[in-house]
Structure 1
Amino acid sequence: MPTHYDTLSIGSGEAGKLICWTRSKTLGVKTAVIEYKWIGGSCPNIACLPSKNLLFSASIVYTAQKYTQSGLLKISEPVEVNMQAVRERKREMVKGLIEMHESVFTGSGSELILGLGGLVDAHTVEVSCHDGSTRILTADNIVLCTGSRALIPPIPGLAASNLLTHTELLELDVVPEHLVILGAGYIGIEFAQAMRRLGAQVTVLERGPRILKSVDEDVTFALQEILESEGVKFETMIGLEKVEGQSGTSVTLSGKKNGKPYSVTASHLLVAGGRVPNTDHAGLKEAGIELTERGHVKVNEYLQTNLPNVFAVGGCSGNSQSTHMGRDDFRIVSQYLLKPNSPPRSILSREVPSTLYTSPELAHVGLTELAAKASHTPYRLAKLPMTAFLRSRTMDATSGFAKVLISATDDTILGYTVLGPSAGEMLPVVQLAMAEGLSYQKIEDLVITHPSMNEGLGSLFEKVPPRE
């Protein structure tokens, strides 16, 4: 006989696990989470947290080298990187996170089932368990939380080149002599700086005209200058035609740059050119789930699929790959299940922030200038160099700037971008003002601790031009 549950999640990523944990603990209903490989999802195992662990290790090396050269530190031997220790530090953190997840599963009462789950119909899931058994499970509600994986472009020779994705790069126990990175998005840029700081020669290849194509050009120009000053090399307008050799020994990438022959040979190759949803092996089409042309699960504003009791959250729905979006997906689905006739939240009402964890960090919320111009939204612009954020001077971290877009017709905040130290920590106060529809003067008039990074917000908002 099938085992019946109130709610099942295929995948233990942020939204899926939180939905099941919360319903079991607060409502006392029976829930289960099916996980094939990564307990807790990709974030604590192979993505957000492990990558930031690596970035922090790289920052320690960079800081030690920087202040040894300046004379602040006196180190008799040259600073050397022990990549095995870097990896072990990351592994210890991941081990602790897995133990934390296992403890929460036990405490919540939600069952953790290890195996590969596939949707059979709107209320049935078949699980090929790791112990060799097969289980048939039924549920009133099913959550698809299958995540995504690295996109491998169909370039001849690439798939057979022993390439690295972020998963394999985080397991390296040696510093690559020369790392070539395909893709100048968030993943590629973060790893470019980290691996350069750890001692690798780094070349980033981008098929477009610039890095971080969705970010304003003044921001990407400033960030690229900073990364180039550290030794990262960028090649744009690259059209790759073939890959030869093996990453880990010697690999050559050939093609065209602005129509002219181009090639580069490196010791290692990292592919960081986008993500594809894990929807091709979960029985979704066979069960009647509608997918987009790119393979994402089609959902409405409440993350419902075309089967009303089946929801899709996180990367498989195509809304975002970020964990903070997954947490909001959890809130949307949980509240919908409690109040299906009058759900209080939807994906239409959220303002999603982003942070690139380079040094300096790049953080943003709301409209960019690019988006404002594309949508013909009138705005007033204020910019402030990072040197005016006095706390940055105490840390020798004055590269970057902040800028804000203010509505041309009232005093509400349309968008906010910061390139500077602790930029991600400087978002919430502005984000809250945006969510509440407050005027920018509310922040300008705050008494903010001196010296703190957020103190500079007052000076930034003082520069907003008056309404015409």
Structure 2
Amino acid sequence: MAQTEEFDTLILGSGQGGKLLAWHLARSGQRVAVVERQWVGGACPAVACLPSKNVLWGARVAHLTHHAATFGTMTSAVKTDMRKVRGRKQEMIDREIAFHLNAYKTSGAELIMGTGSFVAPKTIDVQLNDGGKRVVSGKQVAINVGSHAAIPNIPGLDTVRAITHIEALELDHLPEHLVVLGGGYVGIEMAQAFRRFGSRVTIIEPGKQLMGREDADAAEEMQRILTAEGIQLVLGALPIKVSGEWGKSVAVTVTTEAGEQTIEGSDLLVAVGRIPNTADLGLEKTGVERDARGFISVNARLETSTPGIWAIGECAGSPQFTHVSVDDFRIVRDNMAGGNRRTDERLVPYVMFTDPPLAHIGLSETEALRQSIPVRVAKLPMSNVLRTEATDETDGFMKALVAADDDQILGFTMIGSEAGEVMAVIQTAMLAGLPYTRLREAAISHLTIAEGLGPLLGNVPPRSAS
């Protein structure tokens, strides 16, 4: 039996929060080990955030090239070489791997590549990827194992060889007709990318609107944008059967209010949600509790039910964004040192990287109505932002929610060019507690997209007389 190796801190999973914690603690003088099953640096630089945005940017270049004549640039026939798209993405991943390996080396944290499972509360048995095993333990432990794509229980799906976003980013050919199960962020991003590369694309969404957690006006605008690009949308459609073989011919039978319908395509992409990677960790030997969906139960300090064991990122039920995992790192780092940072004190923004992108922070109209929070709402079409007249990026709108009884900004949604960058301005104002009138009167540079915040906030209705 392998002898147990002792560390000050042991981290299971090398995702964004876990690796930052490892590097910080190791540079602070601790002996730290990180156990990673597959991807150096976690999913974000390997198969998720960075690779997907790399491919999406390639799709945007393809789209602009196809429409170059609109801007006065004449081109000959345009086609996409998916092998080069994949090659460019892989070159970036290789650079990321080199960066991460160097960061482990210079920090002093040890990266152990293998599959880990708990054999005691703070002890992990690691089956090494290159053979053999190690047993490691820590005085304190952080779990940062992330999540994976959910595969729904639809008859026939297991025989079709459907792909997730991971396999989609590895394609070296262009699907003739890509059918996408799921009208959420991943499904929509991938659908638009492959449509712009040249595939026919159909999105099947069981809900009555795309992007189920967004306000109806945002979903309707995104639906209009996607439809204008030639993407077929089948909403309110529950898949009940799948048949065929991926890459050749697949058929998805759905039920709708109008009855059954069959959508045929060449390839099938599943993007219906995420499941935490907590099933085979041996958590029953740690006393760490999970909720009904399998996420590790934590308090606002990211402490689990077992003292000295923390959880970070998606496996802890944190919002599924890399920037949230980074903030989880800061919370755990400070709390390990005796601080008292909390997850319930943060303001979480997010961006869907379509073209144009969708960005949101704070309260939505739907949430305000559900929580009976009185608000004032202002909207501005992107066509009213002068910058878009120069760039032909007039799709979308800005929307701000302001408190009814004071001038604090409570929420912001935008579909439009540079939406994520503009949202950061609103986020800064919200964090600083600035009244919306300060932004409304600000002299924002001309000719920028953010300049639209002035006229947007000029549309905020006055406070009602009490």
Place the TM-score, normalised by the shorter chain, in its bin: over 0.9
Structure-2 separation of matches of 1:98 and 1:247: 31
Structure-2 separation of matches of 1:9 and 1:427: 33
Aligned to 1:163: 162
- 1:119-130 matches, cutoff 5 A: 119-130=118-129
Aligned to 1:3: 5
Equivalent pair of 2:115/2:126 in contact (CA under 8 Å): yes
Structure-2 separation of matches of 1:106 and 1:279: 28
Deviating above 3 A after TM superposition, structure 1's stretches of 4 or more consecutive aligned residues are: none
Structure-1 separation of matches of 2:102 and 2:398: 41
Q: 1:367 aligns with which of 351, 363, 367?
A: 363
Aligned to 1:192: 191
Give unmatched runs, 5+ long, in structure 2.
Answer: none
Q: 2:381 aligns with which of 369, 385, 390?
A: 385
Structure-1 separation of matches of 2:277 and 2:242: 26
Aligned to 1:14: 16
1:16-48 deviation per Cα after TM superposition (whole angstroms, max 9, x unaligned): 1011101111x2111111111111111101011
1:429-457 deviation per Cα after TM superposition (whole angstroms, max 9, x unaligned): 21122122221122223222111111111
Structure-1 separation of matches of 2:310 and 2:187: 31
1:88-141 deviation per Cα after TM superposition (whole angstroms, max 9, x unaligned): 011111111111111111111111100011122222111111121211111111
Question: How well do the aligned residues superpose, as a CA RMSD in angstroms?
Answer: 1.1
TM-score, structure 1 as length reference = 0.97
Structure-1 separation of matches of 2:179 and 2:114: 35
Secondary structure of 1:421's match?
coil
- 1:59-458 matches, cutoff 5 A: 59-68=60-69, 70=70, 72-76=72-76, 78-258=77-257, 260-339=259-338, 342-343=339-340, 345-458=341-454
Q: Aligned letter for 1:274? A: G
Shift of 1:395: 1.4
Secondary structure of 1:433's match?
helix
Shift of 1:71: 6.8
Structure-2 separation of matches of 1:181 and 1:131: 36
Structure-1 separation of matches of 2:251 and 2:438: 55
Structure-2 separation of matches of 1:100 and 1:71: 39
Aligned to 1:29: 30
Shift of 1:259: 5.1
Q: Structure 1 residues 278-287 or 6-15, which shifts more? A: 278-287
Q: Aligned letter for 1:411? A: D
1:130-154 deviation per Cα after TM superposition (whole angstroms, max 9, x unaligned): 1212111111111111110010000
Shift of 1:403: 0.7
Equivalent pair of 1:121/1:288 in contact (CA under 8 Å): no
Structure-2 separation of matches of 1:140 and 1:441: 51
Equivalent pair of 1:285/1:291 in contact (CA under 8 Å): no
Secondary structure of 2:142's match?
strand
Structure-1 separation of matches of 2:255 and 2:380: 39
Secondary structure of 1:160's match?
helix
Structure-2 separation of matches of 1:75 and 1:436: 48
Shift of 1:458: 1.4
Structure-1 separation of matches of 2:223 and 2:207: 14
Aligned length: 462
Aligned to 1:58: 59
Secondary structure of 2:303's match?
coil
What percentage of residue pairs aligned between the two structures are identical? 42
Q: Aligned letter for 2:223? A: Q
Equivalent pair of 1:184/1:211 in contact (CA under 8 Å): yes
TM-score, structure 2 as length reference = 0.97
Shift of 1:287: 2.5
